[in-house]
Chain A
Amino acid sequence: MLQIESRPFARDHDLFACVQCGKCTGGCPMTLKTKLNPRSLILRLLTAGNGFDLEPFPELWDCTTCSTCAKRCPKQVSPMEMIIGLRSAIVEKGAVHPNVKAALESTFRHGNPLSLPREQRGAWAADLGVKHYTAGMEYLYYVGCTPSYDPRGQKVARALVALFSKAGVDFGILGNDENCCGSEVRRLGEAGLFEMVVEDNTGAYKELGVTKMFTTSPHCYNVYRNDYPKNGMQVQHYTQVLAGLVADKKITFSGSLDKTVTYHDPCYLGKHNGVFDEPRAVLRAIPGLKLVEMDRSREKSLCCEGGGGRMWLEGTNPATRLAMMRVQEAAETGAQVLATACPFCVLMLDEAVKTLNLEEKIQVLDVAEMAAQAL
Chain B
Amino acid sequence: MHIVVPIKLAPDLVEDLEIDAGGAALDRTFLRLIINEFDDHAIEQAFLLKERGGGQVTIVAPDLEGADDVLYTAAAKGADRLIKLIGDFSAGVNCHALARTLAKVIGDLHPDLVLTGVQAHDDLDGAVGPLLAEHLGMPYLGYVAGLTVSDGKCMARKEYPGGLVAEMDVALPAVFGIQAAEKPPRYVVTSLITQAMKSATIEEIETGEFDSGGAAAVERMSRLEATTHAEMIEGSTDQVADKLVAVLRERGLLAPRG
Contacts of B34 in A (CB 8 A): 109
> Are B190 and A119 in contact, with the CB atoms below 8 A?
no
> Are B187 and A104 in contact, with the CB atoms below 8 A?
yes
A59: Cβ under 8 A from any B Cβ: no
Also in contact, A94 and B14, with CB within 8 A (given A193-B190, A196-B190): no
> Are B191 and A98 in contact, with the CB atoms below 8 A?
no
B184: Cβ under 8 A from any A Cβ: yes
> Are A117 and B189 in contact, with the CB atoms below 8 A?
no
Total cross-chain contacts (CB, 8 A): 49
Contacts of A116 in B (CB 8 A): 14
Contacts of A109 in B (CB 8 A): 12, 14, 34
Contacts of A117 in B (CB 8 A): 14-16
User: In the bound complex, what is the Cα–Cα distance between A98 and B44 (angstroms)?
Assistant: 14
Contacts of A104 in B (CB 8 A): 187
A212: Cβ under 8 A from any B Cβ: no
User: In the bound complex, what is the Cα–Cα distance between A116 and B14 (angstroms)?
Assistant: 6
Q: For window 80-121 of chain B, which residues contact chain A by CB distance below 8 Å?
A: none
> Are B191 and A94 in contact, with the CB atoms below 8 A?
no
**B189 partner, pick from A92, A98, A110, A120, beta carbons under 8 A:** A92
> Are A110 and B187 in contact, with the CB atoms below 8 A?
no
Contact with B along A170-190 (1 / 0, CB 8 A): 000000000000000000001
User: In the bound complex, what is the Cα–Cα distance between A142 and B184 (angstroms)?
Assistant: 35
A70: Cβ under 8 A from any B Cβ: no
**B14 partner, pick from A92, A98, A110, beta carbons under 8 A:** A110
B188: Cβ under 8 A from any A Cβ: yes
> Are A190 and B189 in contact, with the CB atoms below 8 A?
yes
> Are B186 and A119 in contact, with the CB atoms below 8 A?
no
> Are A94 and B77 in contact, with the CB atoms below 8 A?
yes
User: In the bound complex, what is the Cα–Cα distance between A182 and B150 (angstroms)?
Assistant: 45
> Are B184 and A101 in contact, with the CB atoms below 8 A?
yes
A106: Cβ under 8 A from any B Cβ: yes
Contacts of B14 in A (CB 8 A): 106, 109-110, 115-117
Contact-residue bracket for chain B: 10 to 19
Contacts of B185 in A (CB 8 A): 101
Q: For window 55-101 of chain B, which residues contact chain A by CB distance below 8 Å?
A: 77
Contact with B along A89-110 (1 / 0, CB 8 A): 0011011101011001110111
Closest to B193 in A: A192
> Are A105 and B187 in contact, with the CB atoms below 8 A?
yes
Contacts of A96 in B (CB 8 A): 187
Residue from B184, B188, B189 whose CB has the most chain A CB atoms within 10 Å = B189
**B16 partner, pick from A92, A108, A119, A193, beta carbons under 8 A:** A119
B194: Cβ under 8 A from any A Cβ: yes
Report A127 CB to chain B, min CB distance, Å: 19
> Are A100 and B187 in contact, with the CB atoms below 8 A?
yes
Contacts of B189 in A (CB 8 A): 91-92, 94, 190-193
Contacts of B190 in A (CB 8 A): 108, 190, 192-193, 195-196
Report A210 CB to chain B, min CB distance, Å: 25
User: In the bound complex, what is the Cα–Cα distance between A258 and B15 (angstroms)?
Assistant: 45
Report A113 CB to chain B, min CB distance, Å: 12
Q: For window 110-140 of chain B, which residues contact chain A by CB distance below 8 Å?
A: none
Contact with A along B175-191 (1 / 0, CB 8 A): 00000000011111111
> Are B194 and A94 in contact, with the CB atoms below 8 A?
no
> Are B186 and A94 in contact, with the CB atoms below 8 A?
yes
Contacts of B184 in A (CB 8 A): 98, 101
Contacts of A193 in B (CB 8 A): 189-190
Report A155 CB to chain B, min CB distance, Å: 23
Contacts of A91 in B (CB 8 A): 187, 189
Q: For window 109-158 of chain A, which residues contact chain B by CB distance below 8 Å?
A: 109-110, 115-117, 119-120
Contact with B along A195-238 (1 / 0, CB 8 A): 11000000000000000000000000000000000000000000
> Are B186 and A95 in contact, with the CB atoms below 8 A?
yes
A-B residue pairs in contact (CB < 8 Å), sample of 16: A91-B187, A92-B189, A94-B186, A96-B187, A98-B184, A101-B184, A106-B14, A109-B12, A117-B15, A191-B189, A192-B189, A192-B190, A192-B191, A192-B192, A193-B190, A196-B190
Chain B contacts to A: CB under 8 angstroms: 12, 14-16, 34, 77, 184-192, 194
What are the nearest 4 A-B pairs in CB distance? A192-B191, A94-B186, A192-B190, A193-B190
User: Besides the contacts A115-B14, A117-B16, what 4 more A-B pairs have beta carbons closer than 8 Å?
Assistant: A110-B14, A119-B15, A120-B16, A193-B190
